Amino acid sequence: MSPPTDQASTAKPLVLMGFAESLAAIEACWSLHAAGFRVAAFTREGTKPGLRHCRGVSVHPVCPPEKDAGATVEAVAALARKLGAAVVLALDDNSLWVCARLHLEGPRVASPVGLGADCALDKAQQLELATRSGFLVPASRVVQDIREVAQIGSPVVVKPARALYEVAGALVRPTGVVCADSQELEHAATKAWPPPLLVQPLIHGVGEGLFGHATAQGVTAWSAHQRLRMVNPQGSASSACTSHPVDPTLVEPAERFLRALRWRGLFMLEFLRDREGRPWFMEFNGRAWGSTALSRRRGYEYPAWTVAAALDPGFIPVAPASPPPIRCRHLGMEIAHLAFILRGPQSSAISQWPSTWRTVGNLLKVSRRDRLYNWSRSEPWVLVDDTVQTLNYYRRRFARRAA
């Protein structure tokens, strides 16, 4: 007769991640499940994320950081203690901000804290570090007020210098705009912009992502993708992307960039490759990204690897030997992409706008290489609900812009 087993001692580690409605949540959950972790997630009160349909996941509402960021931090800390989480993992910028402020005795925070978290949320810091690391960086100007840029001779992009701003105890996430001339710049100045801001020249090109897992010994499991379509062609998350060879000229400066931050775990470096083939540094993401599905379909389990490294600092992932070349598409965002095409560009600086019929043709074109974000044959309702939630999000967004 075998001796009794202490169930608590043999239970798989519980990972508390969030926010559940983030673009990477579903794929991160499946990555963690595949590695043997139990998963719980926190979500904003009043939301119904598609993640709730994933098997074996408990979803817990917390105060939205856009309402009271301090209350969110307290709620996530209390939830981690209540559930007995071994690790807390941030999946978007809001949760990264929250996790950097957690004071926990038991659970480990797999996401960056200190200098790493500051840089991951501050684009101005990223640009400065990228320049020192040897990346090609657009000429950038940091201003406190958009009116400091009185005249422009060529199109510019005006965007927040930080991923998030804390305003009156709440988190605010502004979006950038493209300005073709001084008249459009003047119109942009009517919008409420929390300082500081970044002003950069508009660069036409194709978005690329460089990914990997950083350890004390260096970076391993490099991979890359190229954007096929952005939800909004003026600039946004990708609705479709394809695997792409890693550019060897970017590896050395990327390693310098990450060493300076003493970075550990997953990361994404985003570039814009212009028509002359030059890769311009755009930003650094220190949390899971929207196209995590593409990495996972190729065997790169970045979320699970990051959690494993948080539990065991000596952990080094084994990269797939022959990752397949694939394309990955987000069904809801592909439909939203068509809506943006129909709406048309919002700045005269965008001279090349995709044609409607060509877009329709591209969306209907399916090949053996295609995969879908958030699709699992054993959990089909996850994709269905995620698509509905995505379309509702963009419907509300279009309604706000039209108001």
Q: For the chain, what are the domain ranges?
A: 8-113, 139-201, 203-402
What pLDDT does 402 receive? 63
Q: Is the dihedral of CA 240, 243, 244, 248 positive or negative?
A: positive
Predicted local confidence at residue 4, as pLDDT: 37
Specify the pLDDT at position 16.
Answer: 98
What phi-psi label fits residue 344: left (phi over 0), alpha (psi between -120 and 50 degrees) or beta?
left
The structure tokens listed for 218 are: 């260096």
Q: Could you tell me whether strands 238-243 and 218-230 are parallel, antiparallel, or unpaired per DSSP bridges?
A: antiparallel
Please report which residue ranges of 11-161 form alpha helices under DSSP H.
25-34, 69-83, 93-99, 115-121, 123-133
Q: Which of 88, 123, 94 is nearest to 306 (CA)?
A: 88
For the chain, what percent of residues have pLDDT higher than 70? 96
Contact residues for 368 (Cβ-Cβ < 8 A; gap 6+): none
Q: Which of 111, 102, 196 is nearest to 148 (CA)?
A: 196
Mean pLDDT of 325-336: 96
> Using one digit for the tens of pLDDT, what is the confidence trace for 172-203?
999 888 888 888 888 888 888 899 999 999 99
Please write the tens of the pLDDT for every residue from 295-310.
999 999 999 999 999 9
pTM (2 decimals)?
A: 0.92
Residue 91's pLDDT band, with cuts at 50, 70 and 90, is: very high
User: DSSP letters of 153-214?
Assistant: SS-EEEEESBS-EEETTEEE----EEESSHHHHHHHTTS--PSPEEEEE---EEEEEEEEEE
Region 352-374 average pLDDT: 91
pLDDT for the residue 403 = 57
**Is the Cβ–Cβ distance between 209 and 291 less than 8 Å?**
yes
Evaluate if residue 17 carries a pLDDT over 70: yes
Are the C-beta atoms of residues 181 and 158 closer than 8 Å to each other?
no
Report phi then psi at 194, rounded to 5: -70, 135
Flag whether pLDDT at 102 surpasses 70: yes
Compute the average pLDDT of residues 392-396. 89
pLDDT band for 9, please (50, 70, 90 cuts). very low
Flag the least confident range among 5-9, 126-130, 160-164, 171-175.
Answer: 5-9
Residue 3 has pLDDT above 80, yes or no: no
CATH class of the domain whose range is 203-402? alpha beta
pLDDT band at 234 (very low <50, low <70, confident <90, very high): confident
State both tokens at 334: 């592909």
**Distance (Å, rounded) from C-alpha 40 to C-alpha 56?**
8
Superfamily of domain 8-113: NAD(P)-binding Rossmann-like Domain (3.40.50.720)
Average pLDDT, the chain: 92
Which whole number is the average pLDDT over 244-269? 97
Residue 400 pLDDT exceeds 80:
no
**Pick the residue with more confidence: 382 or 401?**
382
User: In whole angstroms, what is the distance from residue 85 CA to residue 72 CA?
Assistant: 17
Judge whether 8-113 and 203-402 match in fold: no
Cα–Cα separations (whole angstroms), residue 102 to 70, 75, 80, 147, 323: 10, 10, 10, 37, 37
State yes or no: pLDDT of 5 exceeds 70: no
Residue 206's DSSP bridge partners are 273
What is the average per-residue pLDDT within 39-56? 96
The Cα–Cα gap between 18 and 331 comes to 22
> In the predicted model, what is the mean pLDDT of residues 127-131?
98
How far is it, in rounded angstroms, from Cα 173 to Cα 171?
7
The predicted pLDDT at position 146 comes to 87
pLDDT value of residue 8: 43
